[in-house]
Chains A and B, each alone.
Chain A
Amino acid sequence: MQFNSISFLVFFPIVLLIYFIIPKKLRYIWLLVSSYYFYMSWNAKYAVLIAFSTLVTYLCGIIIEQMGLENGKVWIKLRRFTLFLGIAANLGILFVYKYFNFAVDNLNFILGRLNIAYTYEQFDILLPVGISFYTFQALGYVIDVYRKNIGAEYNIFKYALFVSFFPQLVAGPIERSGNLMRQINNIDKIKLFNYERIVKGFMVMMWGYFLKVVIADRAASVVNEVFNNYYAYGSVELIAGAVFFAVQIYCDFASYSTIAVGAAGIMGIELMDNFNTPYFASSVKEFWRRWHISLSTWFRDYLYIPLGGNRKGKARKYLNIFIVFLASGLWHGANWTYAIWGALHGLYQVIGDISRPLKDKINDKLNVKTQALSYRIIKILITFALTSFAWIFFRADSINVALEYIARIFTALDPWALTTGFMYNIGLETREMNILLIAVFVMFIVDLLKYKRNIRFENIADNQNSWVRGAVIFALIAAVVIFGAYGYSFDAQQFIYFQF
């Protein structure tokens, strides 16, 4: 069941109500049952996968901890082997369900080049939703236990809830065991009727819905139109299509995390902030500190640092960055387009790092005031252009399409489109486009407040009279229910994130 489905509108209040009235000791059991129900509403069979992943990592956690208490080289080796098993099992699931067909395709391609006819039956599976999220979360836990950052969890139900907690189950944030496990362990101590917390949680949820159904799904109409018919558009429309995709993907990703944070917040559980105004980043490196934070820190802690991070010299550092971003690209989807998207981001950062001394020199020579607002704005715009450019690969159906799309941006020049109201001819009629532009402007202001003054959305009306907050929530509800893209005239877009 998706967050923007009728089922969820029924499911969530029921879960909440029972969560509030049952005895404290049963809360985690109830949430576990709810989470499995939530997950199984897609396909009951998927529960086997998540249960398997849970069981394996649960056992690994306990075994690794117990072995850690023993002395001797054998134990160290066994301990490491258990970790390896845990990782292999999870990545194995991920490989079979996400990358198998991709691998077979590539293998066939290579064998075909060698004139060897070898075709496999394609394995027909629909990617089980959220698999990339919970396997990573479970892996993080095992590694944390191995590193003795946290103790192993012995209550299997509590641990199973950690892996399957429904608000963040299918599209993140990918929680750290340190944060979520601790809260689950203390779930019976949460004070339930905290008016402020509940109102703010609700407010955050509504903001998430606003991002999803008012902005992302509406922007999708433009993006689909331009990307599906790129050959019929000139540079101006193609650039607009890429920019709207940047908006769409941000709102789509962020909306899911935002709804998750809000929903968990109502229940008294704090999830991490997953997006922090990423398009205000003034370098690609900074972008990754603000974009999908739970994933990028995961890759930092569990891949980049083990690879040696920046401790083994420049060349090795660049290689590591490259590996991490290539992996991150492939994590998003089993297609070379995602790999290229990841590689581009790796490249951006390596080039940015290598060229820094040169850039500093030029700035110095030309007396550029690097602290000035104007300088920062330019950097922000350049960063946005670079990330938007990379998104073209992310969105395009194939590498060829992406390349042609980009080629057209530079060759099919049509600057006069700027004078002919092109914005209203790329998939949305005038009124819908105006609603989209206004909504994007609202989002821009909200993000600006967070960026400049560190005011989170739920605290936006804290210094005002209480009716202002009421009005904000009311306006959000009105915008979502009336201007949301769902129902007859719109196909409710699937949350893009599920397929990753």
Chain B
Amino acid sequence: MVKKFIKITAFLLAVVLLFVCSYFVLGFKYTDSIFKMKMFYEQEDNTVDVLVLGSSHAYQGINTAVLWKEYGYPAYDLCGAAQPIWNTYYYLEEALKTQTPKVIILDTYTLHYSTDYSETSYGIKNTYGLKWSKTKIDAIKASFNEEEYGKQYFFEFLQYHSRYSDLNRADFYSYQANKDVYKYHKGFYCYFRSEPVNYDENLFLVEYQNEMTEKTESYYRKIFELAKSRNIPVIAAAIPFAAEKYHQGFFNTAKRIAEEYNMPFYNFLTDYKDELGLDYNTDFSDNQHLNYLGNTKLTRFFGNLLKDKYNMTDRRGDEKYSSWEKDSEVYYNQLENHNVTLTDSLNDYISVFKNERYKIIMTETYDIGKEKVPELNAFFSKIGVSEDEYKRGGMWVFEGGQKTYYNECTQKDFYRTVRLDGVNTALVKKSGERNAVYFNKTERSNITNGINIYVYDTFTKSTVDAVCFDYSSGDFYRKSD
């Protein structure tokens, strides 16, 4: 009897363990939604002064790092991809359980949605990050059509168990397998690429108001009502994107309703377009979202607005808010990486070698014309390569701003792996006159007469840049991914 009891208990424990492991590995971790909510729970109570709510337009539009670095305002972009307004409402309800923001910035992009339920995947993304409570139950009820799907969405396992075909490294570690980048995440996400976006000059002319669905309008109003009941001012906004006239029609309605509650509405597509000063050729990453240039402008606008009109406190230097300092470091490191890719001469690259975060592999082959390039000598000496090594050529590794490895590579077919960090490894291959650096099975740079430089950031755990300098032509060029 006792033996059987032990057996059964052990078996049940194994089954429980199976479900627990499945949850950790297979559970949803989308950074564009669920992860933001999960990280929000890690914020210390009553530290978020600026609560940003809404869709991707908001979490790629309000730059928490800039708002911290330049103004000292701790903000959190508690948003979700394509988030319908009812989900925004429940996010607010959840946020107010632990935080008392001084101000709420509300993105109103999704008010134009014409259906009462969003696509299943967005429904999941905008509810499954919540902890179990009445709020979550209400959110799920609002997000899925019960008549059609029954109650299955209350059972998360049903939805995520089949993710086995979708797993990647991030699923097996906490913080998306990159603690440096994600441990202090504040919901903000940034693109550094640029794409020109059309701006409809006639948006100004739209005066009509489009009618929102009953469900949308009621939740939009509920947000104001809830904020009001807690005495928190809301700043509603139309964040720039490639908007069409019918969007503007919805923003007009959104503005009218906001004003009914005595809350301001900033339409950056029309009313505040000039004040914001966006360049539609450079400040967007795609036709929906601002990039780093655009979001910096928008964030500064809000920073100034908050400073002038809202009772804000500069929290810089306060130990309680140190996680915002850490979070902003991530952004400024990414910005620095981006700036590396904008360099266009060997001389500009000298400072890159001094960056302590970077692990740099430099290889050289053949030396025809070496002496014809006068700045080469100076370059090598400035990055810490001795004259002797410079003359002999070979490969170098730099880390922590210092040269740490040199090999003359005299073998005919030379192979050397370079451990970049715990996971990633690069391969240096020199064969005959050709030398190349490989990362993730892809050749990142190669040249037959000159130097290859491959730059890896140990902080973001990603390739920063790969450039070549050709001795015979004197060209400095970049291999794009």
Please list the residues of chain A having a beta carbon within 8 angstroms of any beta carbon in chain B.
6, 195, 429, 431-432, 466, 470, 473-474, 477-478, 481-490
Contact = CB atoms under 8 A, between A and B. Distances in A.
Contact of A470 (B11, B124, B162): B11
A429 B151 contact: no
Given A432-B165, A481-B18, A483-B164, A488 B155 contact: no
Contact of B165 (A6, A431, A485, A488): A431
A115 B11 CA distance: 71
Given A474-B11, A477-B15, A487 B158 contact: yes
Interface of B: 4, 7, 10-11, 14-15, 18-19, 22, 26, 120-121, 124, 151-152, 155, 157-162, 164-165
B12 to A, nearest CB: 10
B30 to A, nearest CB: 13
A489 B165 CA distance: 11
Nearest to B28: A488
Given A470-B14, A487-B158, 5 more contacts: A195-B4, A477-B15, A481-B157, A486-B158, A487-B161
A478 B151 CA distance: 23
B151 A6 contact: yes
A482 B158 contact: no
B7 A470 contact: yes
A466 B19 CA distance: 23
A482 B161 contact: yes
A478 B14 CA distance: 10
Which of A195, A482, A485 has the most CB atoms of chain B within a 10 A radius of its CB? A482
Given A6-B151, A6-B152, A466-B7, A484 B15 contact: no
- With a 10 A CB-CB cut-off, give which of B4, B152, B161, B164 has the most chain A CB atoms: B161
Given A481-B18, A488-B158, A488-B159, A429 B11 contact: no
Contacts of A466: 7
Nearest to A9: B155
Contacts of A478: 18
A363 B158 CA distance: 56
Q: Which of B18, B124, B157, B165 has the most CB of A within 10 A?
A: B165
A477 B14 CA distance: 11
Nearest to B153: A488
A383 to B, nearest CB: 35
B7 A487 contact: no
Contacts of A473: 11
A477 B18 contact: yes
Contacts of A481: 18-19, 22, 157, 161
Leading 7 A-B pairs by shortest Cβ distance: A487-B158, A488-B159, A431-B165, A489-B162, A487-B159, A482-B161, A470-B11
A474 B162 contact: no
B207 to A, nearest CB: 43
B26 A482 contact: yes
Nearest to A488: B159
A251 to B, nearest CB: 18
Contacts of B4: 195
Contacts of B124: 488
Nearest to A489: B162
Nearest to B1: A195
Nearest to B165: A431
Given A6-B155, A466-B7, A481-B157, A487 B162 contact: yes
A15 B117 CA distance: 36
A217 to B, nearest CB: 11
B164 A487 contact: no
Contact of A490 (B10, B14, B162): B162
A487 B159 CA distance: 5
B14 A488 contact: no
19 contacts: A6-B151, A431-B165, A474-B18, A477-B15, A477-B18, A481-B18, A481-B19, A482-B22, A482-B161, A483-B162, A485-B162, A486-B161, A487-B152, A487-B158, A487-B160, A487-B161, A488-B159, A488-B160, A490-B162
Contacts of B152: 6, 487
A474 B120 CA distance: 31
Contacts of B159: 487-488
A488 B152 CA distance: 9
Nearest to B17: A474
Contacts of A429: 165
A484 B161 contact: yes
A478 B11 CA distance: 12
Contacts of B160: 487-488
A195 B7 CA distance: 12
Contacts of A490: 162
Nearest to A474: B14
Contacts of B157: 481, 487
Contacts of B18: 474, 477-478, 481
Contacts of A470: 7, 10-11, 14
Nearest to B22: A482
Contacts of A487: 152, 157-162
A402 B18 CA distance: 44
A223 to B, nearest CB: 19
A483 B159 CA distance: 12
Contacts of B10: 470
A91 to B, nearest CB: 35
A384 B159 CA distance: 37
Contacts of B7: 466, 470
Among A466, A484, A485, A489, find the residue whose CB has the most chain B CB atoms closer than 10 A.
Answer: A489
A264 to B, nearest CB: 22
A488 B164 CA distance: 13
A134 to B, nearest CB: 26
Nearest to A470: B11
Contacts of A474: 11, 14-15, 18
